[in-house]
Amino acid sequence: MTNSTGTTFLPDKKAENHFYNNLFWRSQWLMFCTSYTKQQAVTFSWVLMPYLEKIYGKDTPEFYDAMLRHQDFFNTNVTAAPFIFGMVTSMEAENKANGIDPKSIGALKSSMMGPLAGIGDSLVSNGIRLIATGIAIGFFKQGSWLGPILFMLLLNVPNWGIKWAAGKYGYKLGNNFIVNAMKSGTLNLITKAASILGLMMVGAMSAQYVTFTTSLKIKTAAQTLDLQGIFDSILPDLLPLALVLGCFFYLRKKNKPVRTLVAIVILAFVLTFLGITK
C-alpha cells in the first residue's frame, strides 16, 4: 500500500499502533457534527482526513476526491463505526496502490451501516449499558458513590475496548470480512445473538425494578378478599408484567414514548388517590 511519496501507509508496527490509537481518539468525535441530510458524513470525512492525506498526499486532487467521496450520507452506531473507518482506510490505501473502483468503497461503506448499527445498538445499548445499569442501580438506591463509578467503568471500558479493536481489525480484515460474513450468514447470527442478549436483560430488569401492587381489599359478608393475594396466587408479579406488556404493545403501534410516560404518571396519581394502589 504505497502513497504518493512512495512510502507505505503503515510501514512498521509502530506506525500501525499509532494509527489504531489515533483512529480510536478521532472516532470519539463522530457525533460532533450531524445533520438531517448527511447525519455523520461530515465528521466521517474529518476522522479520515489525516489518513487520506498520507495515502494520497496533501492537497492533491485524489485527496479531495476521497474527501468528497465520504460526504455522502452516513449513519451507524458509534461503537461499531471504527470498524468501518478501518476498513475504508484499508480500501483507500488499496485504491492508491492498485487502482480499485472508488465506487466500491462507498458501496461497501453504505452496506455496512445498517448491519453494524444493529450489532452495535444491540451489544452496547441493549446489552452492556443495561448490564452496567443493572449492577450499578443497587448502589444508586443505597446512595453509594460506587453507583456512578461502577456504571461509568462497566459501560465505558468495554465500549472503548470494542472501539479500539474494531478500528484495528476493520483495517486488517479489509473488505473481505463483511462480504464473507454476509454470504455465510455470520453477520445475521451475530446480530440475532446480540438482540437476544439485549431482550434478556430488558426482561430481567423489568422483573426486578418494575413494581406495581394493589392495596385494594374487597369486603364481603363472609370474608375480606385480598386482591393482591389473588393476583399472586395466579402468577407472582402479574400486575408489573401486565404493565410492561401494555406499554410494549402500545409502543409497538408506533405511539410516542412520552405519551406512555405521561399516562403512567397520571394512572399512578389516580389509582393512589382512589386507594387502589399504595
| Full DSSP string of 208-225 | HH----B--EEE-SS-EE
pLDDT of residue 3: 43
Q: What is the mean pLDDT of each run of 10 residues along the chain (278 residues)?
A: 52 85 88 78 89 88 89 84 88 78 76 78 79 82 83 86 87 64 60 62 72 79 76 83 86 81 87 81
48: cell is 479520515
Beta-strand relationship, 224-226 and 217-219: antiparallel
Q: What pTM did the predictor assign?
A: 0.59
18: Cβ contacts below 8 Å, ≥ 6 apart: none
Q: Are 115 and 187 in contact (CB under 8 A)?
A: yes
Distance, CA of 135 to CA of 156 (rounded, Å): 14
Question: Considering only CA atoms, which of 52, 54, 45, 48 is closest in space to residue 15?
Answer: 54
64: cell is 479531495
DSSP for 36-57, written as a single string: TTTBTHHHHHHHHHHHHHHHH-
67: cell is 474527501
Helix (H) or strand (E) holding 226: strand 224-226
pLDDT of residue 2: 44
pLDDT of residue 187: 53
Tens digits of residue pLDDT in 90-148: 888 878 877 777 777 777 777 777 778 778 877 887 788 888 887 888 788 788 888 88
Greatest C-alpha distance within the chain: 97
Tell me the residue type at 184: S
